[in-house]
Structure 1
Amino acid sequence: MQRVLSSRSGVLLYLTVWLLLGLGLGGAVAQLGDEPWLRAMLFAVPVTLLFSVGAGFSAYYMCKANPLRERSPAVILVSTLTAAVWAGFLWVFLMRVWNIAAESFGATGIKDRPQLTALLFSLGVLMYGLLATLNYLLGEFVRARQAEQRELESKLLARDAELRMLRTQIDPHFLFNSLNSISALTSIDAKRARDMTQRLSDFFRQSLGIEAQGKITLEEEVRLIGHFLAIEKVRFGARLEVEQEVDESALPCLLPPMILQPLVENAVKHGIGGLAEGGTVRIDARREGSLLKIAVENDTDPDTPPRKGNGIGLVNVRERLAAAYGHEASVHCTHENNHYRVALMLPAETKEP
């Protein structure tokens, strides 16, 4: 009841219901006691509104003192019935006080008839019972909503924890491969090894800025991938070619940070790294209605068996997308015509939900 009366519209609705009840009671008093309509209304409406305030707060605190989950049904039933009986007596008492007040100001009150007393008593008991029932129903509704909200918050916290855990797998995996590349270069070309070390430092410095973000735009992700490919270009030189085709409409779309980096890394390591003459890594992104479609493709050696698509990087991408989007996102791998392609499909979001 307190929630109903906490807003202006709730108070207005509550008083409107009781006003209609008071008008109905005034009509009953006029017919029952053969009283003038105006006098009957002046008697019934103020008493009813006054009773609504007292009974409303009494029912609220009675229900609060006897919660459903902490009291036995017998205790709740006895408490409610006892309070309802007292409410019936209260309505009868208010009627007589109002009559006395009217006569003291020179007005004519309502005749105190046994039928009217019984009607007010019965109506008081009934309305108090309805108020108590309404309070219990509202309390259970609020409790259910709070439980649902707590469950949702716990799911969101669990999802965020899972995403952070999966995100932390990316940096060590990438760093391990990069350090191996630097180690291989130190004995061949010290200058290129130093250049790659500097670019690696710059890459991680920029990636730290997105660590706290739940999602970043595709434009930021493509920019970060560009830095990564610059590192790999130091290692592979002219053997590594990059082609990008990203629609303007897809750039503002959001996605988990560094979701493409493992795919591009796999394309370079497992694709271009196995080709003596080198090859091309292609990145394609476009928005189609409510979907964002991204593909990473690389040339492959026709004599090399196709990858099964169950490496650490690809598994991480699948799990991160599943944690972030559930069944709304998908990952598909294909290998044909000496090209290996990983296609992502996820909701096209332009702001955090």
Structure 2
Amino acid sequence: MIGKILTSSQYGWLKLLPLFLFFLGGGAFLLHYYGEGISLALMDSGLFTVLLFVGFLLLENVFKYYKPQQENLWLALLLPLMIASLVVVTGRFLLPFLMDDTLFIKASMMIRGALILLIFMGYVLVLIVNGKLEDQLEIRNREELIGKMAKEAELFHLRQQLQPHFLFNSLNSISALVKRQPEKAREMILQLSTFLRGTIRENENEWVSVADEAASLQLFLAIERVRFGHRLEVDFEVEENCLSYKLPPLLLQPLLENAVKHGLYGLIEKVVVKLSMRKVGNYLEVEILNPFDPESISEKGTGFGLESVKRRLYLFFGRNDLLTFVRSNNIFHVKLRIPLLS
């Protein structure tokens, strides 16, 4: 109930209450120890404690907006001295209204001033160190924000490159089909529009489920089957317990596109491309295998597929060992490991 009534500023003052009571009690104890009565000691200590906290407030507001540099650190000594002098002079003026022992007041002012100066200098040191730490934290947060924005911009750029890259290849195929097989060209255009519509929706998400990515890959394969007809067969295996796992959108499509393109190039018989997804330890493991003819001159490409996937994996996970590939026995084998999100 109290928390609903008090404002945030009142909470700030409540945090200072133990420190206020410490100075009040400590000052009263010392004054009483040196001969003042308990009531006078409490009033005397209360007055200087209030003045002390006014000095704290002044110093805090000064160093909140001004942080002394190395060449003007003398201000860190001058300001506490000035405010300590002001506190002592004010106390010297007000104390006679509380007590008649002017001799004690005069004799104790030097000690009071030295103690107050030491307290203010210690407080200024705390404020300077705290300000430096806040500046370093702000710089680090700013650098992290800039790094995050740069990473997101690069990821967006890589993802936006996927559509023109695939679209260019598909349009070439449609162009080849228009005269020879116009019905297939029309079918491919419809499937291409469906695929692109789905990838636009996926681009809005940073992560998609394996089930959604698999559906997108099936759309892609439907387009490729129109393009290559009976020559293309894809063995598509996804373990059911993997369907809910998350991965970056359109991560597998360029790998599968490379497998189809390089698997069919130079071969005239039916080509089987294998794609499997399963959970291995704390990873979603994806394997893509396609045959290739080592004696044929491979179709030249930009290498965009593998490099874009490798770069996206590094931006997401900070690792370069998640994508590997080998060529053996006329089979090109790509293995991709995606760390599972907790």
Shorter-chain TM-score: what band? 0.7 to 0.9
Q: Sequence identity of aligned pairs in percent?
A: 31
Q: 2:168 aligns with which of 172, 176, 180?
A: 176
Long gaps (5+) in structure 2:
1-6
- 2-structure distance, mates of 1:308, 1:328: 25
Q: 1:230 aligns with which of 214, 222, 236?
A: 222
Superposed displacement of residue 281, structure 1:
2.1
Q: 1:262 aligns with which of 254, 263, 268?
A: 254
In structure 2, the residue matched to 1:205 is 197
In structure 1, the residue matched to 2:25 is 23
Structure 2: which amino acid aligns with 1:62?
V
Superposed displacement of residue 179, structure 1:
1.2
- Structure 1 pair 192–75 and aligned structure 2 pair: CA distance change class (3 A): same
Q: Is the 8 A contact 1:210 1:216 kept in 2?
A: yes
In structure 1, the residue matched to 2:150 is 158
Question: With structure 1 as the length reference, what TM-score do the two structures score?
Answer: 0.83
Q: Is the 8 A contact 1:87 1:125 kept in 2?
A: no
Structure 2: which amino acid aligns with 1:25?
G
Give runs of aligned pairs for residues 1-353 of structure 1, distance below 5 A. 11-33=13-35, 35-36=36-37, 38-39=38-39, 42-43=42-43, 46-47=46-47, 49-64=49-64, 66-69=66-69, 72-93=72-93, 95-97=95-97, 99=98, 112-301=104-293, 303-304=295-296, 311-327=303-319, 330-349=322-341
Q: Is the 8 A contact 1:15 1:49 kept in 2?
A: no
- Structure 1 pair 113–46 and aligned structure 2 pair: CA distance change class (3 A): closer
- 1-structure distance, mates of 2:262, 2:292: 8
- 1-structure distance, mates of 2:192, 2:128: 63
Q: Name the SS of the counterpart of 2:199 in structure 1.
A: helix
Superposed displacement of residue 270, structure 1:
0.5
- 2-structure distance, mates of 1:130, 1:94: 26
- Structure 1 pair 319–66 and aligned structure 2 pair: CA distance change class (3 A): closer
Deviations 1:70-128 (A, max 9, x none): 9722344333422232234345455555x25xx9xxxxx99844443333222222222
- 1-structure distance, mates of 2:212, 2:48: 66
- 1-structure distance, mates of 2:72, 2:317: 44
Superposed displacement of residue 269, structure 1:
0.7
Q: Name the SS of the counterpart of 2:276 in structure 1.
A: strand
Question: With structure 2 as the length reference, what TM-score do the two structures score?
Answer: 0.85
Superposed displacement of residue 335, structure 1:
1.8
Deviations 1:263-287 (A, max 9, x none): 0001111013443222222222233
Is the deviation greater in 282-291 or in 255-264? 282-291
Long gaps (5+) in structure 1:
104-108
Superposed displacement of residue 44, structure 1:
5.5
- 1-structure distance, mates of 2:260, 2:107: 94
- Structure 1 pair 282–129 and aligned structure 2 pair: CA distance change class (3 A): same
Structure 2: which amino acid aligns with 1:42?
L
Q: Name the SS of the counterpart of 1:187 in structure 2.
A: helix
Superposed displacement of residue 293, structure 1:
2.2
Q: Name the SS of the counterpart of 1:230 in structure 2.
A: helix
Q: Is the 8 A contact 1:299 1:338 kept in 2?
A: yes
Q: Is the 8 A contact 1:18 1:48 kept in 2?
A: no
- 1-structure distance, mates of 2:102, 2:275: 88
Q: Is the 8 A contact 1:19 1:45 kept in 2?
A: no
- 2-structure distance, mates of 1:89, 1:341: 85
Q: Name the SS of the counterpart of 2:269 in structure 1.
A: coil
Deviations 1:5-26 (A, max 9, x none): 9677654443312322332222
- 1-structure distance, mates of 2:26, 2:311: 64
Q: Name the SS of the counterpart of 2:39 in structure 1.
A: helix
Superposed displacement of residue 166, structure 1:
1.6
Superposed displacement of residue 209, structure 1:
1.0
Structure 2: which amino acid aligns with 1:63?
F
Is the deviation greater in 13-22 or in 216-225? 13-22
Q: Is the 8 A contact 2:265 2:292 kept in 1?
A: no
- Structure 1 pair 340–65 and aligned structure 2 pair: CA distance change class (3 A): closer
